Amino acid sequence: MPAYRSDLPFVPAADRAAREHDTVSFEVDGEVLVARRGETIATALLRHGRLAFGPHPVTREPVGPLCLMGSCFGCLCEIDGRPGSQACLEVVRDGLIVRTRIDT
Amino acid sequence: MSRYGPSCVDTIVIGAGPAGLATADVLSERGHRVLLLDEQIAPGGQIGRRAASSTGFERWPWPERYGITAPGRPRANSGRDGRENAFAALERPTVHYAPGSTVIDAVADDAGVRITWQQASTIDPSGHATGTHVHRVTLEPLDSNPEIRTATLDPSLPVRPLADTRAAALVLATGATERPLVFPGHTLPGILTAGALQALLKQAALVPAAGGLVLAGQGPLLLLVAEQVSRAGGRVEALLWTGPHGAYLRALPGLLRAGFAEPDLVREGARLLVSLRRRGIPLIDRIDALRAHGRERVERVTGRARGRSFAFDCGVLGIHDGVLPNTQLVRLLGLTLARDPITQDLVPRCDATGASSATRVWIAGDGGGIGGAPLAVLRGRLAGLAVHRSLTGPDRQLDERIMILARQVTSRRRARTWVDRSHPPLRIDRFADERTTLCRCEAVTLGEVRAAIAAGASGPNRIKTFTRCGMGTCQGRYCHEPLDRLLRQSTGEDRPQWLRVRPPLKPVLAIDYLAADSAGESTHDPMSEPSSLTRERAAAGTAPDDARSTES
């Protein structure tokens, strides 16, 4: 069971099933994060307090996911070398390498 | 789930939510082979969203525990909750369910319908993460290819969706998206839609941390989210209700009618309101101003209600302003849309069975006009029966069933209109000012779009050409509706016109796209190791091809 920090914007639901779960670890921008098995890459990042996934390509202001269902494109990342991937539509798995929106 | 590939299927169903699953169920029950494509990692649609697992999907404990019931119709001999297994279709060998599959192109013409889709490797049903693959599906006219329906699947084949799959009918069950709530600061990280908060709960068992959540907007879903988050141990600091004052009163006659036709719906609404009051969630209504503040993320939401100012600190702001049919694929296929008489939203034109303006294309569930999950199940079954009829020919008993079901769906949809009447979409400038972003991807402001209209941009596609509004990575998924609302409200023009949608629908690597093309009828096996070219990862072709735009 991973340790959770209390200053995070999202916390596990008040239920044993929410806290006890299998984990996978993956890499985001060089940092190793622990996620819940079966969740998406986007929720795994939100779990660790990452609300912003990178600078907006036009305004350079921080952007983050809005809809988590594949519509808003606020969660675009490079996933295992594939740019322009939607982090909310892919399951997190061990050894995955994610780079959040690359400043171009 | 099928263990062999569908080189030929009778029907392609896009979307594995309540409607798509019901369609696949009806068709597979009658012996038809179905290719069920779904973009999400697990079946169930938004309402039945759950975590993925090695067996395809996890029977998530949350739905039952937090009042999120799986869609299904009551049946005497079903499970202990009195509902039929909504996922029955997935267990049939004639259904090939492909999660993580995104449609990237679709063409409909005299030769039939051609669909290109890609499946992400991470959720490959075979369990081998080998890279993303692009597949093509051709939907050919039944009469020109009589052998399509008689071709048999070879059970000895391994799981292998072929590069070129053929089918005889197409059912779009692509569901709904949320209507954007547009206000100053709405693009800040930490602002999520009500649906996103549900996704976090259902798929990741996460709730906003205590003291951090404020909800803003209107609609039944916002109340449901307040209730679900509270039940899961979260706390809603304030519910900022943006609905116009008196809307409930004006919708009262409809509510009374709905009370007779849809008692469950009305009871559920009443239960939510009572529950929110009992939990002591502060409800602020009659809001005239709303604004989000923060530097790197949302930190505070302020506004004015009943002439008095309010301010709340927040770490997460949940927003919602009702739902819309997802028409991205409908517009790409060039199907006809019409205006919903109540909401004025653009809705695909289809008959009572869901048959669209193109032959062999049906639309089931919320994607054909909002009706909600229980109704989506019925509409999915109805579309399934209609497709079955088109494949096997008319039959007196079948025709009667279709007619009865169509009548039921029509009357229940009519009863549900009070929901739309009591939550009319807001005027676009209710909270937004000239500097508020309308198009998130290209950062186009309301003022820039207004200036384009003043300069003579008379339709959404011209505005797109003038300003780049709707030209970004989401391809207008988010701004097409606010843009339509702005155009209607500032010019008074309300004939149906819409932002064109261009392929690719979603980002795809050019090299994958080309590989699928060259595969054609060859024996190319997309499930095998990716080619070295794929590994080289050519640049993503994300931007819609607007060079072909011919505005007239």
At A16-67, the pLDDT tens digits run 667 777 899 999 999 999 999 889 999 999 999 999 998 998 999 999 999 9
Does residue B531 register a pLDDT over 80? no
Confidence of residue B152 (pLDDT cuts 50, 70, 90): very low
Q: What is the pLDDT of residue B289?
A: 97
Chain B residues touching A74 at Cβ < 8 A: 440
Please report where in the chains the tokens 């739905």 appear, as a residue: B63
Does residue B95 register a pLDDT over 70? yes
Chain B residues touching A59 at Cβ < 8 A: 443
Pairwise CB contact (< 8 Å): A73 & B441:
yes
To the nearest whole Å, the CA of B60 is away from the closest chain A CA by 10
Mean pLDDT (chain A) is: 87
Distances (CA, A) of A4 to A19, B209, B227: 10, 12, 24
Minimal-distance CA residue of chain A relative to B203? A39
Which pairing describes strands B34-37 and B11-14: parallel, antiparallel, or unpaired? parallel
Q: What is the pLDDT of residue B162?
A: 41
Q: What is the pLDDT of residue B401?
A: 96
Name which residue leads in pLDDT, B11 or B470.
B470
Q: What is the pLDDT of residue B85?
A: 67
The span from the CA of B172 to the CA of B181, in Å, is 26
Pairwise CB contact (< 8 Å): A43 & B206:
yes
- Asked whether the beta carbons of B367 and B63 are under 8 A apart, the reply is no
Confidence of residue B111 (pLDDT cuts 50, 70, 90): low
The span from the CA of A28 to the CA of B30, in Å, is 47
Sign (positive/negative) of CA torsion B195, B198, B199, B200? positive
- Asked whether the beta carbons of A79 and A29 are under 8 A apart, the reply is no
Residue of B102, B192, B231 for testing the chain A interface, max A β-carbons within 10 Å: B192
Chain B residues touching A48 at Cβ < 8 A: none
Q: Is B314 helix (H, G, I), strand (E, B) or coil?
A: coil
Chain B residues touching A69 at Cβ < 8 A: 40, 46, 177, 195-196, 199
To the nearest whole Å, the CA of B11 is away from the closest chain A CA by 24
Paired tokens of B42: 């697990």
| Residues with Cβ within 8 Å of residue A57, at least 6 apart in sequence | A101, A104
pTM for this predicted structure: 0.86
Pairwise CB contact (< 8 Å): B209 & A9:
yes
Mean pLDDT along residues B374-397:
92
Confidence of residue B493 (pLDDT cuts 50, 70, 90): confident
Confidence of residue B84 (pLDDT cuts 50, 70, 90): low
Confidence of residue B153 (pLDDT cuts 50, 70, 90): very low
* pLDDT per position as a tens digit, B310-332: 999 999 999 999 999 999 999 99
Mean pLDDT (chain B) is: 79
Does residue B61 register a pLDDT over 70? no
The span from the CA of B500 to the CA of B495, in Å, is 15
Q: Is A25 on the interface with B (CB under 8 A)?
A: no
Q: What is the pLDDT of residue B417?
A: 86
Chain B residues touching A67 at Cβ < 8 A: 177-178, 192-193, 195-196
Does residue B72 register a pLDDT over 80? no
Least reliable range by pLDDT among B69-83, B84-98, B250-264, B364-378: B69-83
Confidence of residue B133 (pLDDT cuts 50, 70, 90): low
* pLDDT per position as a tens digit, B259-309: 777 777 777 778 888 888 899 999 999 999 999 999 999 999 999 999 999
Please report where in the chains the tokens 């609609």 appear, as a residue: B219
Amino acid, res. B463 = I
Crossing angle (nearest 10°) for helices B396-422 and B252-261: 150
Q: Is A56 on the interface with B (CB under 8 A)?
A: yes
Residue of B37, B132, B206, B228 for testing the chain A interface, max A β-carbons within 10 Å: B206
Q: What is the pLDDT of residue B314?
A: 94
Mean pLDDT along residues B149-176:
57
Does residue B19 register a pLDDT over 90? yes
Q: What is the pLDDT of residue B96?
A: 83
Pairwise CB contact (< 8 Å): B204 & A51:
no
Q: What is the pLDDT of residue B4?
A: 36
Confidence of residue B439 (pLDDT cuts 50, 70, 90): very high
Name which residue leads in pLDDT, B158 or A71.
A71
* pLDDT per position as a tens digit, B183-200: 999 999 999 999 999 999
Chain B residues touching A38 at Cβ < 8 A: 51-53, 58, 203
- Asked whether the beta carbons of B167 and B153 are under 8 A apart, the reply is no
Percent of chain B with pLDDT over 90: 48
To the nearest whole Å, the CA of B499 is away from the closest chain A CA by 16
Mean pLDDT along residues B372-400:
92
Mean pLDDT along residues B469-480:
95
Q: Is B452 helix (H, G, I), strand (E, B) or coil?
A: helix
Element (H, E) at B278: helix B263-278
Q: Is A78 on the interface with B (CB under 8 A)?
A: no
Paired tokens of B64: 């039952």
Q: Is A2 on the interface with B (CB under 8 A)?
A: no
The most confident of the ranges B84-93, B261-270, B449-458 is B449-458
Q: What is the pLDDT of residue B373?
A: 86
Q: What is the pLDDT of residue B51?
A: 75
Least reliable range by pLDDT among A69-83, B114-128, B382-396, B519-533: B519-533
Q: What is the pLDDT of residue B392?
A: 85
To the nearest whole Å, the CA of A5 is away from the closest chain B CA by 11
The span from the CA of B16 to the CA of B50, in Å, is 12
Confidence of residue B486 (pLDDT cuts 50, 70, 90): very high
Q: What is the pLDDT of residue B137?
A: 60
Percent of chain B with pLDDT over 70: 76
Pairwise CB contact (< 8 Å): A52 & B189:
yes
Mean pLDDT along residues B487-510:
90
Q: Which of A62, A81, A89 lies closest to B120 in CB terms?
A: A89
Q: What is the pLDDT of residue B55?
A: 42
Amino acid, res. B417 = T
From the list B266, B245, B419, the residue with the least C-alpha distance to B340 is: B419
Name which residue leads in pLDDT, B69 or B271.
B271
From the list B287, B312, B296, the residue with the least C-alpha distance to B187 is: B296
Chain B residues touching A72 at Cβ < 8 A: 440, 474, 477-478
Chain A residues touching B199 at Cβ < 8 A: 43, 68-69, 88
Does residue B37 register a pLDDT over 70? yes
Chain B residues touching A26 at Cβ < 8 A: none
Confidence of residue B3 (pLDDT cuts 50, 70, 90): very low
